[in-house]
Structure 1
Amino acid sequence: MNDLVARFRGVFTALATPFKGDAVDFSTFGALVERQIAAGIAGLVPVGTTGEAATLSDDEADRLIARTKELAAGRAMVMAGAGSNDTRKTIDKVKRAEKAGADALLIVTPYYNKPTQAGLIAHYSATAEATSLPIMLYSVPGRCGVEIAPETCATLMDLHPNIVAIKEAGGSAARITQLRRACGDKLIIHSGDDGLTLPFLSLGAIGVTSVVANVAPREMALLLEAWQAGDAARALALHELIAELTDGMFIESNPGPVKAALALANLAGPEMRLPLVSVSDFNREKLAGILNRFSAASAAFQEIR
């Protein structure tokens, strides 16, 4: 278990999926992944919400996971998104992700259906029984309409040894204490909100599954490294350095802003698949200003430190 905790510690980037026309741009995707690894990211999360999983074909998802694993080459953990709102489809995605080489799985709560807690236990139990890979539960009530209760998390961990972690994206720091009270310190917790990373770490989380790391991987990695080294002042300074950029990543629905930011930085194209569309011209200009200020502040921070 200690080795598993170590593997989940740090920044895991919820990777954006670049497109060129109607196709996945695998060349650009490879460059993005290499940039993440070079920055010191601990984990890579392909085929998640930020990766527009809902509009990827099964073959595209398989290829993205396999390509991430190939590029990571043991330098970063690969945790593939594999959830859906149909348990049978989720199990199929889990088996496909395992075959493609994933090291772990991120399984979101079923959306739209709004299952009860008993339904969540049944759903996650069936999923866990279909794989031997470590599973991170993903509670994001703002998108799914249902939250994983702390007691449900504890029940699932008791029933299934491979359910080991949760990505908490409910927007409440109080949830961390509630989860730890129910599950104990054996539960691995990731922040699912970039802006709450530092307070979550102070309450017992050990990592973040991050959107903003697509744009600022080194700064996010440095924040986690500072906290892990016991340098709270440096971690706070990095949190404040990233804060405006973090807010900017959510001025419209994710991943619109992060894709616009990657395009502004000449790292990837801004294309998204319907029903998602590119950010408005107004917000693109706003993001350009945020990126310019962030770049200048980051450069100054590196000089001072």
Structure 2
Amino acid sequence: MAVKWEGVMPAVTTKFDSNDELDFITFEKNIKAQLDAGVNGIILGGTLGEASTLTASEKKSLVRKTLEVTNGRVPVIINIAEQSTKDAIQVAKDAEEWGAQGLMLLPPMRYKATDHETVVYLKEIAKSTSLPIMIYNNPVDYKIEITHDMFEELLGECSNIEAVKESTRDISNVVRLKNRFGDRLKVLCGVDTLALESMVTGADGWVAGLVAAYPRETVAIYKLVKAGDLEEALRIYRWFLPLLELDITPQLVQNIKLAEVATGLGTEYVRPPRLPLQGAERERVLAIIDNAMAQRPTLVDYTSL
């Protein structure tokens, strides 16, 4: 299945049970809810998916299960966030063998590579696979920025680099990327709290986090913005914003899994060293979720937009 880098692409959580094993029953329920809401792809093993804690066997199982559940309705994409170029290339090759239809690719992990090192790393991975690639550009959290000049070099040599998950937190960067690269580089917002603004300024899609708990509201905002109904999109977005802010903290996994519990689409189990929220912070997050649930908006029929 060809990947169209557009629309809402959930960076889904990885579901665990009380024994720290993959929970495919809850996972399947969540994926089906995403499909029913009208998402455009499923992204596995991202930051929200607790990528750094997953084994190769678990990644394979997640890809295979997701392909089974999606059954060709949307592309399945897996994130690559490895410690070495060699390991990253192996994951890219494995993902293609497992049946994944696209890759999301982070710069080198645990080492602040130079611009040259970063470009070489990304090129070598891209040239090792035929799968289409979305670069995850998040200098705030991962301390390496892929500049426009770096993208120029990458796009000139790697035709399968097709998109960027734009997470610089600079809203005007959407316009700069579009001005420089046009449709050669699809731009998807990677920061929940900037999603509506990004789409208004030309982003092609939204790699979303709170969609894991609220798939219909997320897709509705995207569809309404693209249809030009900003008033209705803003109505939902204003309600959504306190929840979306739960995605931009180090405890985003715990936060969003609590929200999934509230909507019946997940459990609170995280993989250590992460632990469920405790004390005052847990109460603060629960209050935000409870307030949102009490005021959850009625949605217009966005599916035909």
Query: Fold-level match, TM-score > 0.5?
Result: yes
Give the CA RMSD over aligned residues. Answer: 1.9
SS in 1 for 2:110: coil
Partner of 1:13: 10
Maintained 8 Å contact 2:15/2:27: yes
Corresponding residue number in structure 2 for 1:297: 295
Superposed counterparts of 1:234-249, under 5 Å: 234-249=232-247
Name the stretch that deviates more: 257-266 or 25-34.
257-266
In structure 2, the CA distance between the partners of 1:299 and 1:136, relative to structure 1 (3 Å rule), is same
Q: Which residue of 2 aligns with 1:28?
A: 26
Shift of 1:281: 3.0
C-alpha distance in structure 2 between counterparts of 1:179 and 1:85, whole Å: 28
Q: How far is 1:249 from its partner? A: 3.6
Deviation at 1:24, TM superposition (A): 0.9
For residue 84 of structure 1, give the secondary structure of its aligned residue in structure 2.
Answer: coil
Equivalence map 1:11-90=2 (5 Å)? 11-20=8-17, 21-90=19-88
* 1:243-282 pair list within 5 angstroms: 243-282=241-280
Q: In 2, Cα distance between the equivalents of 1:301 and 1:61?
A: 35
CA distance in 1 between counterparts of 2:166 and 2:98 reads 26
Unaligned runs of 5+ in 1: none
Alignment of 1:113-152 (within 5 A): 113-152=111-150
Q: Match of 1:114, SS?
A: coil
Alpha-carbon separation, structure 1, partners of 2:300 and 2:198: 25
1:110 CA displacement: 1.3
State whether residues 220 and 299 of structure 2, in contact with CA within 8 Å, keep that contact through their aligned partners in structure 1: no
Deviates more, 1:39-48 or 1:251-260: 251-260
For residues 196 and 182 of structure 1, the distance between their equivalents in structure 2, rounded to whole angstroms, comes to: 21
Q: Which moved more, 1:246-255 or 1:15-24?
A: 246-255
Question: Contact 1:151 / 1:182 at 8 angstroms: preserved in 2?
Answer: no
Q: 1:252 to 1:158 in 2, by over 3 A?
A: closer
The structural deviation recorded for 1:297 is: 2.6
C-alpha displacement of 1:66:
1.3
Q: How does 1:102-121 map onto structure 2 within 5 Å?
A: 102-121=100-119
CA contact (8 A) 1:264 1:288 kept: no
Does the C-alpha gap of structure 1 residues 261 and 284 become closer, same or farther in structure 2, counting only changes over 3 Å?
farther
- Counterpart-to-counterpart distance in 2, 1:265 and 1:250: 20
Deviations 1:159-179 (A, max 9, x none): 111000000111111222232
Mapped to 2, the partners of 1:181 and 1:26 lie a distance apart of: 43
Q: Compared with structure 1, are the counterparts of its residues 264 and 252 closer, same or farther at alpha carbon in structure 2 (3 Å cutoff)?
A: farther
Deviations 1:202-252 (A, max 9, x none): 222111111110011100000111112121222222221211111134455
Q: Which whole-Å CA distance do the structure 2 matches of 1:151 and 1:164 have between them?
A: 16
Contact (CA 8 Å) 1:14, 1:51: kept in 2 or not? Answer: yes
SS at match of 2:296: helix
- Structure 1 contact 125–156 (Cα < 8 Å) conserved: yes
What percentage of aligned pairs have identical amino acids? Answer: 29
Q: What TM-score does the superposition give when structure 2 sets the normalisation length?
A: 0.92
Which stretch of structure 1 is more off in the superposition, 282-291 or 86-95?
A: 282-291
